[in-house]
Structure 1
Amino acid sequence: MTVVQSHGWLDGLQEAVWLVDESTLLILRANAAAERLAGAPVAAMVGTSVLGLASTPQDVAFWGEPAQVVADGIHSHTSLLRADGSLVPVNRQVSRVPNGPDGGTIFMVTMLDRSIQAATERELETLLSELRATLDSAADGMLVCNLHGQVRAFNQRLAQLWGIPRELLLERDDAAVYAHMAAQVQDAAAYTDRMAAIAREPMQESTDILTLKSGVVLELRSVPQFSQGRPVGRVYSYRDITRQTEIQASLRLAARVFESSLDAIFIADSQHRVLRMNPGCERLVGPSAKSFEGCMASSLFGGGTDIAFMEQVLEGWARDGFWEGELWLPRDSGAYCAVQLSWVALRDDEGRLVQSIGFMRDLTLQHAAQKRIEELAYSDVLTGLPNRLLLSQRVDTAIQGARQSDTGFAILFLDLDRFKIINDSLGHPFGDRVLQLVAERLQACLRQTDMLCRLGGDEFVIYLHGGDAVVAESVARRILDDMLKPFMLDGMGFSIQCSIGMALYPQDGTTLDELIKQADTAMYRVKERGRGSYGFYQPQMNANLLSRMQMEHAMRQALGQDRMAVHYQPQVNMATGRITGAEALIRWTDPEFGAVSPGQFIPLAEESGYIVTLGAWVMEQAVREAAQWMHSGMPIVISVNVSALEFRQPDFVDRITRLLAVHQLPPTLLELELTETILLQDALEMEQRLRVLAGLGIGLAIDDFGTGYSSLAYLKKLPISKLKIDQSFVRGLPDDDGDRAIVSAIISMGRALHIEVVAEGVETETQQAVLLQMQCDHYQGFLCAPGLPAPEFRAMLGKPLPLKAQGRRDGLQI
């Protein structure tokens, strides 16, 4: 019996079964379950093609190759076309079975209704799709891993935050994913260690902050994933908190600014009640500042401001949302201080007032500075005296009054004599303090109705209210007498003379500028006459001032036009009667002024600073000619005068060194003549400079010794090699007992200190004899020769001196 014939067993099966002819694909038998599933009687299906059950072209094609059917149809999902045309999802299985001893083989097609399963799968797929959509719509990056760290799920936000290529995630190359993430973190090693530590604690939750190299800040939260009460994995969420972090940083900064601001800051609510005040309020108001919290903000300013004005401030604030201006703030001390208030409203998105913030800046220092600026505009910084601007206003008022009352006044122009020497010798700070002392003394000589003004430097102008020539002369005498009294500063006593020029309104000028100009001219005339006096302006004085200006201009042109020359006055050794040295003296012959005395142009050069140029030129000429004489077999020491300003030049020593090297002159053949004032300059700097020069072998002589600020201390301390007695003392020999005593004392002091002494201005044999008797070492003067041009001096070196000039010869005293 064949399988088809023995079909009773088929009806006992729950699955729907069809027996199909392998070659014709005709249905041979079907069971009751097939009848129910197909919705057609078995009798109607038997003899029909199995293709009638096919629901799709793919199913039709499935039956096209019987040999392949068994291979493809072992298990498959498909749909069954029911008799009513509906489709039923089924699990289909096709197998080849024998159909009896001689029946060949047939297909046994088994189908199981999977409608419920398909519906469940669809619901599950829908759920998974919704979960995926939910996961992808999350603002945080999500990563789900099992306990072994294998990636089970992720969302798009994760890829965005970390810049992970989606393909890398889909490839399931977990190691590559983790390596990519670690590479984005600023501290990759710390991140890797932390992730490993989290993985070792499957039951623990954690929160960490990560900073990526891009600057993005992430909050990492990790929670365990459970199934049936047991941990099966871990869910990581990554939230971008960069903006939040920035806001928090800004808030912290704002808090620090609020607490540490030098300005006083208060915060008020929408009703203008003070909510909070920073420490600056306490610094500004005092300890009671905190008591204003809870009070109306306007109460901060109540007592020190006009009520109506305060109302205007509040109205402006309510209208514009801010107000800026100055208000008065009461302090705990009872005083009021001016403050700059900036009061700003803070509103919400709907424009409603939420809070307001006020910034108060103390204007005390600003007001003081403004007051000081106003003072400086009308006063001299150094002395505090009125300046020219204030004097101008005072004189303008006086001129208006004088025109109405037919009265006058006087202007005095005062200049300190030789004040430049103090500045050059003792330094500008010392000179400034001297000017302050002078200002005090001058002020004491004036009336309250007068005005003392400092123009600048050592120049002062005095306005004498209602002063005529008699009053002006009286005040000038009083000033000169007071200035003769010694000044004391830093333990040093000294006197300062001044020269005063006077001009009268209206005869000498009708404006302040004119009067100052005329008084200045009169003052210069006083200086020309000998300083330390006073004089009235006279019209012809302008011509003298013009001449002085012309002389200064001509002096500056003289060097370039070969109108200056260096002459040499011999210095004679009194023991041997031989010329051992010479002093270099500058001479100027001008086509307009003729032979100009050094006493005229040297002071001009010192006042203008041109003395540095002249001194450098004389030094160059003297060294060059001394070198020529030495190379000709007539070595002689050349003495060159150095002014205080020239000596203070930073490159002075280097310039001397270069000159000696260029002209190959031994330093021992150069001597520098310095005034006593140079030695009173900055002690340490001057001592170092002098020792450098002496160390080179250059001689150092003190010129006009005894006429300046003499001090025995520097003679002992400094490397001085010669003292030169000023001719004013020599001129009185032998008759003037005072001069004789001074000269004798200087020579004795020099011998005691092993310093050679040179007497200047020796003109007579009698003077020479007295000096010889006193054992003076050298002399110079007209007795031997005046200053000679270089050729004449060189010729003199080759000849013996006249007996009268030799002083001592063959052991005999003249």
Structure 2
Amino acid sequence: MRHIGTHLLALATVLSLVAVGGDRVVRDAIVDTRFELLSRPASGDVVVVAIDSPSINRLGVWPWPRTVHADLLEKLDRAGAAGIAFDIDFSSPSKPTDDHAFEAALRAVGGSTILPSFKQMVRTDGNKLYVDRPLPQFGQWSWTASVNIEADVDGVLRRYRRGDVIDGVVLPSLATLLGGGKMAPGSFLIDFGISRGSVPTLSYHDVLDGGDALFSSLKDKKVIVGATAVELGDRIQVPNGQIIPGALLQALATESVLQGRTLQATAPAIGIAGAVAIAILMAALWRKRSGAWRAALLVAISFLAELGAVLLQANTPVVADTSLLHFTVLAYIVVAALDELDLRRRLQTAADRRFQQVAMALGDGLVFYDRRGMITFWNPGAEAIFTYRATDMVGTPFATILVDDPSRQAPRQAMRPALSELLERSGSKTLELEGRRSDGTVFPLDACISSWTDADGPQFAAILRDVSERKRRTERILYLARHDTLTGLPNRNALYEELKQAIRGAPSHKREIALLMLDLDRFKDVNDTLGHRYGDELLVQVAARLREIVGPEGFVARMSGDEFTIVLIGADLAEDAEQLSKRILTSFKTWPFLLAGESIRIETSIGMSIYPRDCDDQDELLANADLAMYKAKSSGHNKHAVFDPSLKLDLESRRLLLAELDRALVQGEFELFYQPQVRLADGLLIGAEALIRWRHPVRGIISPGVFMPTVNTNVIGEKVAAWVLTTACRQGGIWEERGQKLKIGVNLSPSQFKTGDLAASVMVALADSGLSPEHLELEVTENILLDDDDRTIETFQRLRNLGVGIAFDDFGTGYASLSYLKKFPLTRLKIDQSFVRALAPGTVDAGIVEYTIRLSRLMQLDVIAEGIETQATADLLHAMGCENGQGYLFGRPLSVPEFEHAFLAAAKCGRRKTGNGSLVPDAA
């Protein structure tokens, strides 16, 4: 009900159009148009015999004597015409002989002739109505039919009466009588879709002169005789601007009767119902759909209704009156257009109010100015940014708030092309400018400028934003993208860009580029012993020292972790780069770093490569320096190395070796050798250490020193370590099942602690092999114990809970080894062979060994010495309190068959002689 006024306006529009007769005009126009669309041929059963100009000229007189008509009547009857109707006035007498001849002809035909009667108003006689009938002597031998017709108010004849009342007598119309139609009151619409040109028409004089061929075309036809000559004046206006003779009109009306095309219009109630339905539909959709959507729907309804009406009229004698429906559609389209204009006006008003609210609450500055550059609007956001009040700025030049310093950015010059482009076509342009506050402060400014044209000409709007903070954040992000946050040095990205630019310009300036790559030696020890906080502090001090040593001529960057790089650019750099490397090495070796109040010495390894001597691009330069650096690390601490092409060959050799190792593992080329471990007191065999060998199909037995460094630094190390553990436990289980209970020593790999679950793997190996946990001893080195995190300690504890022994291998050679004895649940110490091979009383080695043995006793740990090669050494160790030993004195590492033959087969004779004559009993 909110929009009832809209629908009342539509109703008023429809009623107004109906009141002025608009519905009739539209209805007639629509029906006339349908006749054009629905053209159909005449049946051919109705023939017009035309009193045309050639016939009048032939006879030379008008009116014709009635003997002519009698002659025509006789010929038509002889031709077999089914019916003959004259549209000629026979109400007045002519020559008696002529009338008598015509009467005789009518009598001869036998009553199949129709003669017209009609009423006419005589204006000169006081508008008196006269009725013209055929003469009585004619009427008694013929049928009388009404030929009166009545045009619509627009002068167009569309309807045809079915009959008429003349002097109280109901007479059928000519078409009704001739076409055999039923007498009924009222009229019908002639179907003017019947093609006028398809109605057969014969000239009067042709029929009079006709022969058998012409007469045969008239057989069984209904013939209408009437005037068609223009000079006789019987012309009638019909739909679509056509004027036709009265005889042809009678023929079309007769055809309508014969074809069942006496058209009748639908009742007005149907049109009213359609208009009401449209009104209801529009009321339901008025604000749910846009005006364009509703207009499209109305047009579609109008089109479909008219299409249905056309199809209905084409197939039935029904003319659907769609005028009122079209009026309603038109009214609603007009009302919708008016409503849309009103809605837009109201929306514009609301938008203006909202704009004021938004503009005044907008955090960004919003400034309007005209073509002259004078400010016309200034919102509070602009006031907050520039600290100018609106009252001070409206009417002042927009350029007042912009910097126009030639030494800085020139916003007026930047804006001119943008404003010119906006004047040519609407849109917006975004510019980076510099603004000036009321206190003179200059700041970066983003401006989005748009334009439009109103009654006052071109106008401009600028949305202004202070981007000072964003600029600072962007600069910070760019800095972080190129710098290391810890040391402040350029990072890997900045290094790569520096190398790329330097290499790009090197050829033209005939310069070289030297890249030094540094890696701190044993930096992990600092992190593990002092903590990462002091490790980070050390990296900061290293960065500061490198910057100091290199100076402004070089580029210092931090790659990652404890890796640093130095870039030098110049001519003949080899000597300068090498001298710089030596200065760095000397500084690190000589001058300690201060951490936690203590002096810490840290050394470094340096690799160096030079462009273009060693490479073609920055990637290759980095790779070469990295190879040289690892070469330096492998040479010992605090060393430097220069790239040599042979390093790449070594790298390729390692790659090939790794491929062979993968194949060897798959094909079962690895083999475990076992070295005996004995009790020094009596030489009893108590165990064996499992040591890996590679039985190469071409090179034979390969020592682990050749391939294990590669194994331990690659993924294959995990698989090899798992194979060693499984294989050693399986062999130990076999010996134990035979009654030879030996403690099997297995060396662990660091990778076994970093991936997977070592304790679970050991449980599976023991379960699968049948080896008792107490007969398995896992040997760990200091590089494993360095990872003294909770997970490593928990793993050791779970292994001990299984009953597996844990031996500290190579004890005494590492860094801060004593601290590990307290942290980890160890069961035995293995004195490294470097202290044993040259062991003699009174030496430093003897002191270290004796201290280690005493320490193990205090901590209730077993102890075994490695590398025993002489009996004297064995005796000295035994005297110091060492219980067990291992070395070439007792036996080298042997394959399983060799080991069993050399040691375990001795059970048959009780003891076995060693190389120097000592006896080694078999295992108990």
Q: Is the TM-score greater than 0.5?
A: yes
Distance of 1:603 and 1:592 partners within structure 2:
21
Q: Deviations over 1:461-510 (max 9, x none)?
A: 54454456554443333333334365566789765554445556776667
Q: Deviations over 1:758-785 (max 9, x none)?
A: 2222222222222222212332222222
Tell me which residue corresponds to 2:501: 393
Instruction: Tell me: CA distance 1:161–1:700, structure 2 relative to 1, closer, same or farther (3 Å).
Output: same
Instruction: Tell me: CA distance 1:478–1:356, structure 2 relative to 1, closer, same or farther (3 Å).
Output: closer
Equivalent AA in structure 1 for residue 676 of structure 2:
P
Number of aligned residue pairs: 572
> Which of the residues 743, 763, 769 maps onto 1:637?
743
> Which of the residues 731, 744, 762 maps onto 2:837?
731
User: Deviation of residue 298 (structure 1)?
Assistant: 5.3
Instruction: Tell me: CA distance 1:582–1:317, structure 2 relative to 1, closer, same or farther (3 Å).
Output: same
Is the Cα–Cα contact under 8 Å of residues 264 and 281 in structure 1 kept in the other structure?
no
Tell me which residue corresponds to 1:266: 366
Tell me which residue corresponds to 2:380: 277
Distance of 1:260 and 1:757 partners within structure 2:
84
Tell me which residue corresponds to 2:706: 600
User: Deviation of residue 267 (structure 1)?
Assistant: 6.0
Tell me which residue corresponds to 1:482: 587
Is the Cα–Cα contact under 8 Å of residues 578 and 806 in structure 1 kept in the other structure?
no
> Which of the residues 753, 770, 777 maps onto 2:859?
753
Is the Cα–Cα contact under 8 Å of residues 579 and 797 in structure 1 kept in the other structure?
no
Q: Give 1:551-562 correspondences, 5 Å limit.
A: 551-562=657-668
Is the Cα–Cα contact under 8 Å of residues 575 and 777 in structure 1 kept in the other structure?
yes
Is the Cα–Cα contact under 8 Å of residues 449 and 461 in structure 2 kept in the other structure?
yes
Instruction: Tell me: CA distance 1:298–1:469, structure 2 relative to 1, closer, same or farther (3 Å).
Output: closer
> Which of the residues 406, 413, 417 maps onto 1:309?
413
- What's the secondary structure of 1:634's corresponding residue? coil
Instruction: Tell me: CA distance 1:420–1:627, structure 2 relative to 1, closer, same or farther (3 Å).
Output: farther
Tell me which residue corresponds to 1:774: 880
Distance of 2:863 and 2:358 partners within structure 1:
76
Q: Deviations over 1:303-344 (max 9, x none)?
A: 685352365255555663533121223468965432332244
User: Deviation of residue 534 (structure 1)?
Assistant: 3.5
Q: Deviations over 1:711-739 (max 9, x none)?
A: 54442233222222222222331257222
User: Deviation of residue 649 (structure 1)?
Assistant: 1.2
Equivalent AA in structure 2 for residue 707 of structure 1:
T
Distance of 2:540 and 2:683 partners within structure 1:
53
The structure whose Rg is larger is 2
Q: Give 1:128-167 correspondences, 5 Å limit.
A: none
Tell me which residue corresponds to 2:553: 449
Is the Cα–Cα contact under 8 Å of residues 379 and 390 in structure 1 kept in the other structure?
no
Identity of aligned residues (%): 32
- What's the secondary structure of 1:628's corresponding residue? helix
Distance of 2:698 and 2:637 partners within structure 1:
26
Instruction: Tell me: CA distance 1:419–1:272, structure 2 relative to 1, closer, same or farther (3 Å).
Output: same
Distance of 2:427 and 2:578 partners within structure 1:
69
Distance of 2:366 and 2:754 partners within structure 1:
60
Q: Give 1:584-595 correspondences, 5 Å limit.
A: 584-591=690-697, 594-595=700-701
Tell me which residue corresponds to 1:341: 447
- What's the secondary structure of 1:732's corresponding residue? coil
Equivalent AA in structure 2 for residue 482 of structure 1:
S
Is the Cα–Cα contact under 8 Å of residues 402 and 411 in structure 2 kept in the other structure?
no
User: Deviation of residue 747 (structure 1)?
Assistant: 1.9
Q: Which runs of 5+ in 2 are unaligned?
A: 1-275, 289-343
Equivalent AA in structure 1 for residue 499 of structure 2:
L
User: Deviation of residue 578 (structure 1)?
Assistant: 2.8
Tell me which residue corresponds to 1:705: 811
Is the Cα–Cα contact under 8 Å of residues 392 and 512 in structure 1 kept in the other structure?
yes
Tell me which residue corresponds to 1:358: 463
- Give the alignment's TM-score, normalised by structure 1: 0.57
- What's the secondary structure of 1:387's corresponding residue? helix
Distance of 1:679 and 1:247 partners within structure 2:
79
Q: Give 1:236-255 correspondences, 5 Å limit.
A: none
- What's the secondary structure of 1:608's corresponding residue? coil
Distance of 1:797 and 1:259 partners within structure 2:
100
Instruction: Tell me: CA distance 1:421–1:621, structure 2 relative to 1, closer, same or farther (3 Å).
Output: farther
- Give the alignment's TM-score, normalised by structure 2: 0.51
Is the Cα–Cα contact under 8 Å of residues 568 and 789 in structure 1 kept in the other structure?
yes
Is the Cα–Cα contact under 8 Å of residues 391 and 453 in structure 1 kept in the other structure?
no
Is the Cα–Cα contact under 8 Å of residues 346 and 357 in structure 1 kept in the other structure?
no
Distance of 2:351 and 2:821 partners within structure 1:
72
Q: Given the alignment of the two structures, is residue 655 of structure 1 paired with residue 755 of structure 2, yes or no?
A: no
User: Deviation of residue 581 (structure 1)?
Assistant: 3.0
Shifted more, 785-794 versus 797-806: the winner is 797-806
Q: Deviations over 1:242-267 (max 9, x none)?
A: x99x9999999999998998x63436
Tell me which residue corresponds to 1:789: 895
- What's the secondary structure of 2:838's corresponding residue? coil
Q: Given the alignment of the two structures, is residue 325 of structure 1 paired with residue 422 of structure 2, yes or no?
A: no
Distance of 2:565 and 2:359 partners within structure 1:
54
Tell me which residue corresponds to 1:681: 787
Tell me which residue corresponds to 1:621: 727
Q: Give 1:60-71 correspondences, 5 Å limit.
A: none
Instruction: Tell me: CA distance 1:568–1:360, structure 2 relative to 1, closer, same or farther (3 Å).
Output: same
- What's the secondary structure of 1:728's corresponding residue? helix
User: Deviation of residue 432 (structure 1)?
Assistant: 7.6
Distance of 1:306 and 1:790 partners within structure 2:
89
Q: Deviations over 1:122-149 (max 9, x none)?
A: xxxxxxxxxxxxxx9xx9x9xxxxxxxx
Equivalent AA in structure 2 for residue 765 of structure 1:
Q
Instruction: Tell me: CA distance 1:717–1:355, structure 2 relative to 1, closer, same or farther (3 Å).
Output: same
User: Deviation of residue 389 (structure 1)?
Assistant: 3.4
Q: Deviations over 1:612-666 (max 9, x none)?
A: 2221221221222222222332333322222323311143333333333333444
Instruction: Tell me: CA distance 1:399–1:718, structure 2 relative to 1, closer, same or farther (3 Å).
Output: same
> Which of the residues 677, 680, 696 maps onto 1:571?
677
Q: Given the alignment of the two structures, is residue 672 of structure 1 paired with residue 778 of structure 2, yes or no?
A: yes
User: Deviation of residue 292 (structure 1)?
Assistant: 7.6
Distance of 1:286 and 1:741 partners within structure 2:
83
Is the Cα–Cα contact under 8 Å of residues 623 and 663 in structure 1 kept in the other structure?
yes
Instruction: Tell me: CA distance 1:268–1:562, structure 2 relative to 1, closer, same or farther (3 Å).
Output: same
Instruction: Tell me: CA distance 1:268–1:506, structure 2 relative to 1, closer, same or farther (3 Å).
Output: closer
Is the Cα–Cα contact under 8 Å of residues 566 and 790 in structure 1 kept in the other structure?
yes
Equivalent AA in structure 1 for residue 364 of structure 2:
A
User: Deviation of residue 610 (structure 1)?
Assistant: 3.2
- What's the secondary structure of 2:887's corresponding residue? coil
Is the Cα–Cα contact under 8 Å of residues 292 and 300 in structure 1 kept in the other structure?
no
Is the Cα–Cα contact under 8 Å of residues 723 and 756 in structure 1 kept in the other structure?
yes
Distance of 2:853 and 2:356 partners within structure 1:
82
Instruction: Tell me: CA distance 1:630–1:778, structure 2 relative to 1, closer, same or farther (3 Å).
Output: same
Q: Which runs of 5+ in 1 are unaligned?
A: 1-135, 142-155, 163-242
Instruction: Tell me: CA distance 1:721–1:326, structure 2 relative to 1, closer, same or farther (3 Å).
Output: same
Distance of 1:746 and 1:710 partners within structure 2:
14
